[in-house]
Chains A and B, each alone.
Chain A
Amino acid sequence: GDSVTQMEGPVTLSEEAFLTINCTYTATGYPSLFWYVQYPGEGLQLLLKATKADDKGSNKGFEATYRKETTSFHLEKGSVQVSDSAVYFCALDTGTASKLTFGTGTRLQVTL
């Protein structure tokens, strides 16, 4: 079945550091890939997405590239801020079941 594997957290970085959160997937079809962010006490918000191989999703300084050859969708940001502290979820959808498959989430803490 479909699955998503994320790097375990927590990830602790100093402000302005470079961020990478790894995400790899297993899927039978050609999935769409997503990154969601959850701020404390809130629901999940869509951060970015990519619907086909080599697509790059980007938003708020975050980027992720759909790599079919390595089945990966790693999240990156060049310079994190304290306000980026949150939990990040990688997810996929193959469109066959209309249900997203989520990773287990990675907590990011950014300090001054």
Chain B
Amino acid sequence: GAVVSQHPSRVICKSGTSVKIECRSLDFQATTMFWYRQFPKQSLMLMATSNEGSKATYEQGVEKDKFLINHASLTLSTLTVTSAHPEDSSFYICSASRLVDTQYFGPGTRLTVL
């Protein structure tokens, strides 16, 4: 299967700071990338969908000004959590797909906001 990486795997930050998470498709060009969030003992929740070169589409209830998504190339998307607060602490997972095809997931980034 296709390989998707995320960086960093873990990050701890102070409340009020911004954190950037990178998602890369290593062996294919991803026309679409997705960002999910997962709280402990819960399922994955889709946050937003981004197509290369276009603005991201956010799911209902997800603040676009807080979770900034950039998908500037076919192999890289970034999620920036702005002014992070403890309630933003979660497991953030990206996935990538080529055209309308199977999604392949990254290993996830665990964010802890103190």
The answer to whether A and B interact is no
Interface residues, chain B, with chain A CB atoms under 8 Å away: none
Residues of chain A whose beta carbon lies under 8 Å from any beta carbon of chain B: none
